[in-house]
Amino acid sequence: MNYGSEIEKVLLTGKQIEIRTQELADEINRDYADKELLVVCILRGGVIFMADLFKRLTVDAEMDFLAVSSYGAGTTSSGEVKVMKDLSAPVDRKHILVIEDIIDTGITLSYIMEMLSARKPSSIKLCSLLDKPSRRKVDLFGDYVGFEIPNEFVVGYGLDYDEKFRNLPDVCVLSPSVYEKNN
């Protein structure tokens, strides 16, 4: 795919993501073989990954959605997390798998994991398409991780910059000129 000057380079192609997503689904299908799974998608960045993963699940699976406040138009974490849309049903006795686009500082996700754990699910695990371990500020790890990536701001395949670029089929590095204009 050829992109314009706003994109510096393609980091992961849609094809690479598809292959890795199937591997993750295989693992999840094995691990939850005799369990009922509640897949909790973190809106909005995780939605494309969740859909591609979800259709590859062969175990009993339901989906629900959670929206929290994110970075806004900037590219660094504010550390503030606010629930904008809560789950639509109680989670007690459910096996929760949280689906996120990227683990960066881990601040948002550790808040989400603690909040959901407090609702007493049977189990809770985390699946993230991307992981930037070099940026971690809290002790948090993904149980299922698609790709570890370097400390670069990425867009596409659900990930946005100021709500744009979510529709790109690849994960791409954004040109610094795009956010230097705004910050």
Chain residues that interact with Mg ion, rule: CB under 5 A:
45, 70
> What is the token pair recorded at 17?
């993501």
Q: Which residues of 140-177 are buried (b: 16+ CB within 10 A; e: fewer)?
A: bebebbbeebeeebbbbbbbbbeeebbebebbbbbbee
User: Quick check: 101 and 46 in contact, CB under 8 A?
Assistant: yes
Type of residue numbered 15: K
> 34, 52, 92, 104: which one is catalytic?
104
What's the rounded Cα separation, in Å, for the pair 132 and 150? 6
Residue 59 Cβ vs ligand 5GP, minimum distance, rounded to whole Å? 25
| Nearer of residues 32 and 156 to Mg ion, judged by Cβ | 156
Shortest Å, Cβ 30 to ligand 5GP? 27
- Residue 146 interface partner, choices ligand 5GP, Mg ion, none, CB cut-off 5-8 Å depending on type: none
Shortest gap between Cβ of 62 and Mg ion (angstroms)? 22
Tell me whether residue 104 or residue 170 sits nearer to ligand 5GP (CB atom): 104
> Would residue 104 show up in a list of annotated catalytic residues for this protein?
yes
